[in-house]
């Protein structure tokens, strides 16, 4: 039997990259999947590519009215999620910077999308799951929130560290409701989010050279741990960080 048969999963930021890979894998494992993305057209294309087991929702996770409306609409249509992957986020290359050089507007934009957007996704996921007797929430973190990997990305690193703390707090608060909350920490993973690095041979070599396994990550590398955390195989796992970074955070 497929590991997610009978479950419905919502994945934010899933029109492309890690989110799309995870949503596609979830569908292959028997789940119905909701492709939630700010780019509604891209979300519909992604859902069409997956097939009848998928539907698309256009939502800006930094706007609570949109997040709340999305969850309400899904519940009304019989698609209330048992699994929510809070994956959407941005990395503002060319704008993020060391703290003394960081513009306040850039800081606010990053926090609004990455941290507040994740909080709002989690908030409404919890409300939905309490009514359903539990569920699994998975957050996408980053090594920049664990060590000094993001020294030139103050806002991004702070937003991801905040996500890590949010996961632990929510996990503790709602364990009694059968809601599990865990964070997956992908290392350097080549998607459209990091073309500034992947298109620069010198910058790419510098970061790949710090990965003990000697290569960049791919979205496919993240699917398995997300599947485990979405499935009942991880029934006793909550409040934890799961690194998928080729050993980067062991250094």
The answer to whether residue 231 scores a pLDDT higher than 50 is yes
Task: Please report which confidence band the pLDDT of residue 209 belongs to, taking 50, 70 and 90 as the band edges.
Answer: low
Does 1 reside within a domain? Answer: no
Q: How many Å apart are CA 186 and CA 184, to the nearest integer?
A: 6
Q: How many Å apart are CA 78 and CA 142, to the nearest integer?
A: 33
Give the active site residue among 156, 174, 188, 242: 156
Does 212 reside within a domain? Answer: yes
| Number of domains, the chain | 1
The answer to whether residue 1 scores a pLDDT higher than 70 is no
CATH of the domain at 99: 3.40.50.720
Q: What is the mean pLDDT of the chain?
A: 92
Per residue in 157-189, pLDDT tens? Answer: 999 999 999 999 999 999 999 999 999 999 877
201 Cβ neighbours under 8 A, 6+ residues apart? none
pLDDT value at residue 251 = 44
Q: Domain of 148?
A: 8-250
Does 135 reside within a domain? Answer: yes
Q: Would you call 174 a catalytic residue per the annotation?
A: no
Average pLDDT over residues 131-155: 92
Does 3 reside within a domain? Answer: no
Note the pTM of the prediction, 2 decimals.
0.93
pLDDT value at residue 216 = 76
Task: Please report which confidence band the pLDDT of residue 215 belongs to, taking 50, 70 and 90 as the band edges.
Answer: confident
Range with the poorest average pLDDT among 68-72, 134-138, 215-219: 215-219
């Amino acid at each position: 039997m497929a590991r997610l048969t009978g479950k419905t999963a919502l994945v934010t930021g899933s029109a492309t990259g890690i989110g799309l890979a995870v949503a596609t894998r979830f569908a292959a494992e028997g789940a119905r999947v909701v492709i939630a993305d700010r780019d509604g057209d891209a979300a519909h294309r992604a859902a069409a590519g997956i097939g009848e087991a998928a539907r698309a929702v256009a939502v800006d996770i930094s706007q609570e009215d949109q997040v709340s409306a999305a969850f309400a609409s899904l519940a009304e249509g019989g698609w209330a999620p048992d699994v929510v992957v809070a994956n959407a986020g941005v990395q503002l290359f060319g704008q993020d910077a060391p703290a003394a050089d960081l513009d306040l507007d850039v800081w606010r934009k990053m926090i609004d999308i990455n941290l507040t957007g994740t909080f709002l996704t989690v908030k409404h996921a919890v409300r939905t799951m309490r009514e359903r007797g539990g569920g699994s929430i998975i957050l996408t973190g980053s090594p920049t929130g664990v060590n000094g990997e993001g020294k030139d990305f103050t806002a991004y690193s702070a937003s991801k560290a905040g996500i890590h703390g949010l996961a632990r707090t929510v996990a503790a608060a709602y364990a009694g409701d059968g809601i599990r909350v865990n964070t997956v920490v992908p290392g350097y993973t080549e998607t459209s989010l990091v073309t500034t690095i992947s298109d620069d041979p010198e910058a790419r070599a510098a970061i790949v050279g710090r990965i003990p396994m000697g290569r960049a990550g791919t979205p496919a590398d993240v699917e398995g741990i997300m599947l485990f955390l979405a499935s009942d195989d991880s029934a006793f796992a909550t409040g934890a960080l799961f690194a998928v970074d080729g050993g980067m955070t062991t250094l």
